[in-house]
Structure 1
Amino acid sequence: MKKYKVGMVSLGCDKNRVDSELILGSINKFYEITNDPKEAEIIIVNTCGFIESAKQESIDTILEMAEYKNKYKCKMLIATGCLTQRYGEELLELMPEIDILMGVNDYMKIHKMILDFINGERKLFAANYSDENINEGIRLLTTDKHTAYVRIAEGCDNYCTYCIIPKIRGKFRSRSKEAILEEVNTLANNGVKEIILIAQDLTYYGMDIYNKKELHSLIKEISNIEKVEWIRLLYCYPEEITEELIEEIANNKKVVKYLDVPIQHISNNVLKKMARRTNKETITGMIKKLREKVPAITLRTSLIVGFPGETEEDFNELCEFLEEYKLDNVGVFKYSKEEGTPASTMENQIEEEVKEERQNKLMLIQKDVASNLNKLKMNKVYDTIIDRRRGKYFIGRSSEMAPEIDGTILIEYNDNINIGDIVKVKIKESLEYDLVGEVCDEFSK
């Protein structure tokens, strides 16, 4: 049988990226994978359906890839992911360009669905998530070869009023430690040095299958894998961070001193409307505790502006919080009114123009904070992982930088080091978000 060329376009978050890698891994032996969609006879678009802008990007991408049927070699267009899970039947009706449509947990069925299409069956739809414990399959990494995301749980039990994820992805399901460790071992043996643990809420890991929070012990076991050098944690809810987890971050040399803590807001009024299970006092108390126990820790968060009922007083409180607590990295998002969520029917919806103004003001505050924090890094030395080469420079990241969402370090090319090496870099120049440095250890000329 001819090996068709398959191309993948993956949109959205790093959890979606893992799905894309699982899809490619499940079909790798049957098809030839290409990074050039112009060469692909089958194109898969893994969509995001979290907020309005992400939905629009997904729709635009599907339509763009549909044009490849006329312009290039594409004969089959497959759509999967959160958007198709959420609007499956509607999308099939509105977008005849889609040949096969799947849900978020259908990647193990994709080869059969392709064969069925080739044999004359069209418009297949199988969008169902399972509430059973998940087991990841073989993955084909799309990240740099030395870095990989490892999903330790699927779904979410938090039911924040603005979020559709529980309806798309289902309830929170932890993977077993054994399955996670087996995956990490395989990744490490294939050259991965940086393991990035992800889930909708990392800190809830283990509650469903072990009846207790087990993130700290999972981290400890991962750190025993010799070839793993960095362990990074994304998405830890402040109210769920335990003393044991803080101690593990502080004392485990393989755990980078970096934590993504998505707080979304700081006003108790807004947090209550969001159905967040925390408050300002808990959030600020946790930030202080983390900085006390792990003095070098880098903190990242995400914030939502323009939530229904957010007053000027609420917003000013958020501005003052950013100015006072000086978090290292902050993403600011305008509230997106998502159908099917409680917040979409709340009174006092905020005008788009006001959301835009508030987002811009917060980003200006954070721009100054980030610039000033970067200036403090001058002449300091950081362990830095070399991600890629660009012209006469290497692009690297210190342990304070997560891939693709934080800054980078620009380093003059040195033929004694290779992509994937972790080297010591001295910072020589500070930019708004990025840094310029030079190698300063035994790898130097």
Structure 2
Amino acid sequence: MPSVGIVSLGCAKNRVDAEMMMYQLNQAGFQLKEDPAMADAVIVNTCGFIESAKQESIDEILELALLKKEGKIKAIIVTGCLAERYNSDIMKELTEVDAVIGIGKNADIAAVVKQALDGNKVEDFPDKMLLPMEGGRVQSTEPHWAYLKIADGCDNCCTYCAIPLIRGSFRSRKMETIVEEAERLVRNGVKEINVIAQDTTRYGEDNYGKLMLPELLRRLCKIEDLHWIRVLYCYPDRLTDELLDTIREEDKIVNYIDLPLQHCDGRVLRAMNRRGDKESLIKLVQHIREKIPGVILRTTLITGFPGETDEEFEELSDFVAQTSFERLGCFAYSQEEDTPAALLPDQIDEDVKKRRAEIITEQEALIMDKWCESMVGKEIEVLTDGFDRYADCFFGRSAFDAPEVDPCVFFTVTDRKPRSGEIIRVRITDHIDCDLVGEMIES
């Protein structure tokens, strides 16, 4: 059978979709190639969330088009959010593409690849709600950690966001199938599971009539040999005391909460179709830290939303200083067509948006530096990821660090070399930028 390579861009949820497609291809007899340049056909599982992500997807397709022109690959298949969002426009603009399919066609990926390799042009955009949420996966992360997608779509309808247009309405998976998938992952060597959805805190509201994330987490905690459970993408309005109590009480759930707030000014938040203001959000952060002592909080913020005044940006900067999030990502607002915010007056100059994002990022770097300094002398658990030849030491992640977005822990060893996926203890001795540095402690 021919070989296939997959390039998956964007978020972790998209990555899980790619892993499910890889499984379908493997079952159909295709040979999976780690290096797409060595494959007969290449699937680009695109992101279409914001302008920079769209451009990254297009650039990847254009690079593959050069390989196709040189005869190194035979077919290019475009899937994912960009394909779902722009449909037939992709093939019109990128004539080198052989197939473009919407997310509702993912289950038929093997047939689509075969058609493309046979020289047929394919365009198919069925109902996005047909996106498979159950099934096998070929894990593309390190063997010892994985993402676990518990829902898809979104009903929050933030005015800046195209996700509801792309992924459809929010829909949860059945709890039994999620637990079964987690058990399979752990049997295959996974020690850390990162629970994801567009809004994890909404889990179960559609299927069970109430918020069921705490119950799901407690069931996941019963899985033997699972060491860490991390919860990502928590919507602030649904961060209940029941959920906070569950995180505090269950040893396997790391004290880490990803809480995307986007802004703190009340007027800006209302324009975003989000709730709260600076005072209420500061109270929420204080409440979380009181309920879960030592919790690590991560947030994402948007600068340059239409109409954001200098005073409102200063309020955001002051909020960052007051809350001292241990982890923070900041993005300049991206004006996305077909979203309500794109039509708002007072769109802000690109340079102003980006400079404001840079200011928040620089501000957060100082906060993280101070936090890293507070960790010197402490002993922490680290999940070993491997050996860094450049730094000439081992590296991994602590419970404080989500994969792919947070810093690492670099550590030296004396005699015994830890295995990839092994959980060891490290004494922190220093930090470089935002990465902790330490030495492995022998038992």
Does the TM-score normalized on the shorter chain lie above 0.5?
yes
User: For residues 404 and 130 of structure 1, what CA distance do their matches in structure 2 show?
Assistant: 28
1:127, distance to aligned residue in structure 2 (A): 4.8
Q: What is the match of residue 428 of structure 1?
A: 429
Give matches, 1:354-365, under 5 Å.
354-365=352-363
2:116 is aligned to 117
CA positional deviation for 1:180: 0.1
- Cα distance in structure 2, aligned partners of 1:45 and 1:242: 38
Counterpart in 1 of 2:398? Answer: 398
Per-residue CA deviation, residues 69-107 of structure 1 (Å, 9 max, x unaligned), is: 133531011110100100011111111111011112322
Distance 1:27 1:197 in 2: 25
Q: Secondary structure at the match of 2:375?
A: coil
Q: Distance in 1 between matches of 2:393 and 2:139?
A: 24
> What is the aligned-residue identity percentage?
42
- 1:238/1:282 contact within 8 Å kept: no
Distance 2:369 2:379 in 1: 18
Match of residue 56 from structure 1: 55
Corresponding residue of 2:81: 82
Query: Residues of 2 paired with 1:296 and 1:367: CA distance?
Result: 20
Match of 2:379 in 1: 381
In 2, the alpha carbon distance for the partners of 1:39 and 1:350 equals 44
Offset, 1:119: 4.1
What is the CA distance between 1:441 and its match in structure 2?
3.6
Q: Residue 260 of structure 1 corresponds to which residue in structure 2?
A: 258
Superposed displacement of residue 116, structure 1: 2.6
Tell me which residue corresponds to 1:4.
2
CA RMSD of aligned residues (A): 1.3
Verify the 8 A CA contact 1:135 1:179 in the aligned structure 2: no
Residues 111-146 of structure 1 show CA distances to partners (whole Å, capped at 9, x for unaligned) of: 1112233444313323530179x5321111111100
Which residue identity lines up with residue 50 of structure 1 in the other structure? F
> Which residue does 1:141 correspond to in 2?
139
Cα pair 2:74 2:117 within 8 Å, conserved: no
- Measured in 1, the distance between the counterparts of 2:155 and 2:351 equals 32
Distance of 1:21 and 1:84 partners within structure 2? 18
2:43 match: 44
Q: Does the aligned pair in 2 maintain the 1:85–1:128 contact within 8 Å?
A: no
Query: Where does 1:98-113 land on structure 2 (aligned, <5 Å)?
Result: 98-113=97-112
TM-score, scaled relative to structure 2: 0.97
CA drift of 1:334 comes to: 0.4
Where does the alignment leave 5 or more consecutive residues of structure 2 unmatched? none
Q: Distance in 2 between matches of 1:220 and 1:441?
A: 32
Aligned to 2:246: 248
Shift of 1:353: 1.4
Structure 1 window deviating more from structure 2 (118-127 vs 216-225): it is 118-127
Paired residues for 1:398-417 under 5 Å: 398-413=398-413, 415-417=416-418
SS at match of 2:104: coil
Q: Note if contact 1:103-1:129 (Cα within 8 Å) is conserved in structure 2.
A: yes
1:260-295 Cα deviation digits (max 9, x unpaired)? 000000000100100013333332222111111111
Q: TM-score, normalised by structure 1?
A: 0.96
Question: Aligned ranges for residues 248-397 of structure 1 at < 5 Å?
Answer: 248-391=246-389, 392-397=392-397
Q: Which amino acid aligns with 2:358?
A: N
SS in 1 for 2:210: coil
Whether the 8 Å contact between 2:98 and 2:120 is mirrored in structure 1 is no
Matched length:
439
Q: Deviations over 1:313-351 (max 9, x none)?
A: 110000001111110111010000000000000011111
Query: Is 2:199–2:235's contact at 8 Å kept on the other side of the alignment?
Result: yes
